[in-house]
Amino acid sequence: MEKPRTIRDLGFKYPTKKSTKRVRYGLFICPLCNREFECKMISIKNGNTTSCGCKRHLSRVRHGMTRSRLWSIWCGIRNRCLAKKPHPCYGGRGITVCDEWKNDFMVFYTWATKNGYNEKLTIDRIDNDGNYEPNNCRWVARGINCQNKRLIQKNNTSGYRGVYRVKESKRWMVICTYCNVSHKVGWFNTAVEGAIAYDQFVIDNNLPYPLNILKRE
């Protein structure tokens, strides 16, 4: 699970009024509920503290399902999209989680159980370039979601499927995802080179995805 994200170093403080030794504290954002909380930095670093306390509250009071498959799916969705260093095929290309799911596991759980979830199914986004939200998600058999054709998102700066600009490197990264596995095709100097490589990867692996229509430059 993602560690709480540091907002600010609060410096050294006495943990209690009777403490004789100061400890460095920080202000953090909880990865589960997005609340801000203060905590000893050493506790975050060594993994003793993983949330603002809501995880313990949720598991003991609200639902007791932190070891369930749906909880793991929910955490996986949030980590892919909301982590400090998100997965390049999800949060890394702008895909996020709607507020109602992001902030409350029970809302996600209720939607899942009312929309056909069972242990043999996996969550699938209808529009592979869309977000994790009720109107864009469904439960399907494993492997079926790999047939979901990726559309070009409106804010796609390359104009090609699977080709994404990475500002830091000023190059184009090409990724193709099928059967829940992301394959990094490579890095390219131009979007057209990336589009050609993407198309060749689709052809070589006989994938059910449409090819790019190359633009004249």
List, for residues 6-60, the tens digit of each pLDDT value: 888 988 988 888 888 899 999 988 877 677 888 999 888 888 888 777 665 554 4
* pLDDT for res 147: 47
What phi, psi does 138 have (nearest 5°)?
-155, 170
* Token pair recorded at residue 132: 């994790």
* pLDDT for res 81: 87
* DSSP string for 108-124: HHHHHHHTT--TTEEEE
> What is the residue type of 89?
C
Q: What is the overall mean pLDDT for the chain? A: 80
Domain with CATH 3.30.730 in the chain: 152-209
* pLDDT for res 204: 81
pTM of the model: 0.45
Yes or no: is domain 152-209 CATH 3.40.50? no
Contacts from 135-140 at CB under 8 Å and sequence distance 24+? 139/112, 139/115
